[in-house]
Structure 1
Amino acid sequence: MAESLSVTVNSSPRLGLSVEEAIRETKVKQAQRPSHAAESSASIFQKGVAELLGTYILIFVGCGAALVSKVQPLTIVGVAIASGLALTVAIYSVGHVSGGHFNPAVTIALATVRKLPFKLVPPYVFCQLMGSILACLTLRVLYNRQADIRVALTEHSSSTTELEAIVWEFIITFILMLTICGVATDQRGSKDLAGVAIGVTVLFNIIIAGPITGASMNPARSLGPAIVSGVYKDIWIFIIAPILGAIAASMVYSLLRVPEPEKKEDVTNFINNHLYFQSDPSKDMYP
């Protein structure tokens, strides 16, 4: 309690200021003082490792389910459930360390709307790609009878044109990113259920678009199997469309954001302290 009181008193504004000036000065001091969250935040290395592990879990389970379905049919619903649950598990496991992107499209989109520093984009994307490649290499070794793991590739159906595939991937990634913005990046969203909401979004997107485009929504999801198998057919679709869809969703959601509310208790403390010392200048502001 004494420590808390000391911090509050030391932050009090100078004598002779109006209440409005006091509030303005204390806001500047707050901005200049490092927050507890910043002091305890993970390092770039830790965040990169978290992105690698989370992406590994997502791709290992998602592509693994596709491989299993070739031998023991799971249907598209089974693959969708496995992928959605894997993403949910990854988010709750390491999402608090890095933000739980596990997707280059999400990382690039958040950086575009300034919800992520641009300096984190290269390490995040690199670790996400490495996580995907390592997961696919693991599956290739463990499923030795399906070494090319081509069944895990994201390819559009023969009856689907390239333009249609782009539109499909754009829309489903847009829906995914809009969900992420709403539940994970907006202070009004329910953070406790963010992982569930995002996982469910992936689930129904795969059910709807899986038979048509493979429902990538994630360049790392498509690049990992492509690199390991050496098959790059139409890979550009599954890189460009998800990134554009994610950026579009982030920009649209920016229209729905409201300024973060002031912390009433902080402002009240500053005003009370200011009025207290103004009323009796004999008080020592800095005990």
Structure 2
Amino acid sequence: MIMKKKLVAETLGTFAMIFCGCGAMTINEITNGSIGHIGVAIVWGLIVMSMIYAFGETSGAHFNPAVTIGFAAAKKFSWQKVPFYVIAQAIGAISAIFILWFLFPESEFLGETTPRENFPAYKAAVLEFLLTFFLMLTIINVSTGSKETGTMAAIAVGGIILLEAMFAGPITKASMNPIRSIAPALFTGNFQFLWLYILAPVLGAVTAVISCKWVKDDACCTSNNC
């Protein structure tokens, strides 16, 4: 029963995050920039912060397969639970994009992630790696076990996402989240750059976990608080 509640929380939280974040991008697209790049970045930061407040105590508010894998690599989350969390996140993300597709059929992109034109894919991969590295570094240092709880955790994580979306959004769309990139691609059919939005965030998150030992004691990533 407890696991079921966690999975429902991950589904609902991911749905809300993708619906609002990609929704802001979609509405900005079809209204010729009425929200603006800064407005979109703020929406991403605020919805993540809100969902951490809402579900951090229940599921840990991962909402991101890279974060879930990162916690598992840190031995703060059971590897056996990773597939269930990823499936719940996928259901939430795909459902959110389906609703956006239904509401705004005129949209060509639905918040999809692709590198800026003429920006090489390998450079986009490096940038997404670094963005997710900083995101997971923030999460792993403000979380309790595999949970992001408390006022400071929500503000810190929402803040880093807002910050990174603000400056990197125009280049790579600042995904930092494999399922956030996969869901729109299923509806737009644009899979050309999907590999980098899956691989780079996972590698970035795992690298951030490894780096925690550089600034904390050796036991910082060996506590199995699932």
What do the CA deviations read for 1:139-171 (whole angstroms, capped 9, x no partner)?
11112333xx51511000122111100110001
Aligned to 1:174: 133
Q: Does 2:64 match 1:114? A: no
How many Å separate the matches in 2 of 1:206 and 1:144? 25
Deviation at 1:77, TM superposition (A): 0.7
Say whether the 8 Å CA contact 1:44–1:120 is kept in structure 2.
no
Deviation at 1:67, TM superposition (A): 1.1
Aligned to 1:44: 3
How many Å separate the matches in 1 of 2:188 and 2:112? 9
CA pair 190-59 structure 1, distance change in 2 beyond 3 A: closer
Measured on the aligned residues, the alpha-carbon RMSD in Å equals 1.9
What do the CA deviations read for 1:217-240 (whole angstroms, capped 9, x no partner)?
000110110112222121000000
Q: Which has the higher contact order (CA 8 A, sep 6+)?
A: 2
The one-letter code of the counterpart of 1:176 is L
Counterpart pick for 1:211 among 170, 190, 198: 170
Q: Gapped runs of 5+ residues in structure 1?
A: 1-41, 261-287
CA pair 225-190 structure 1, distance change in 2 beyond 3 A: closer
The one-letter code of the counterpart of 2:177 is N
Say whether the 8 Å CA contact 1:133–1:228 is kept in structure 2.
no
Aligned to 1:230: 189
The one-letter code of the counterpart of 1:240 is L
How many Å separate the matches in 2 of 1:230 and 1:223? 10
How many Å separate the matches in 1 of 2:166 and 2:207? 23
Say whether the 8 Å CA contact 2:56–2:149 is kept in structure 1.
no
TM-score normalised according to structure 2 size: 0.90
Deviation at 1:61, TM superposition (A): 0.4
What do the CA deviations read for 1:68-109 (whole angstroms, capped 9, x no partner)?
112152221110000110101111111211111000000011
Moved over 4 A (4+): none
The one-letter code of the counterpart of 2:20 is V
Deviation at 1:256, TM superposition (A): 2.9
The one-letter code of the counterpart of 1:212 is I
Q: Does 2:56 match 1:95? A: yes
**Higher-Rg member (1/2):** 1
Identity %: 40
What do the CA deviations read for 1:183-211 (whole angstroms, capped 9, x no partner)?
1147xx98331011100100010111111
Aligned length: 216
Deviation at 1:172, TM superposition (A): 0.6
Aligned to 1:197: 156
How many Å separate the matches in 2 of 1:151 and 1:134? 13
How many Å separate the matches in 2 of 1:249 and 1:144? 38
How many Å separate the matches in 2 of 1:190 and 1:214? 27
SS at match of 2:192: coil
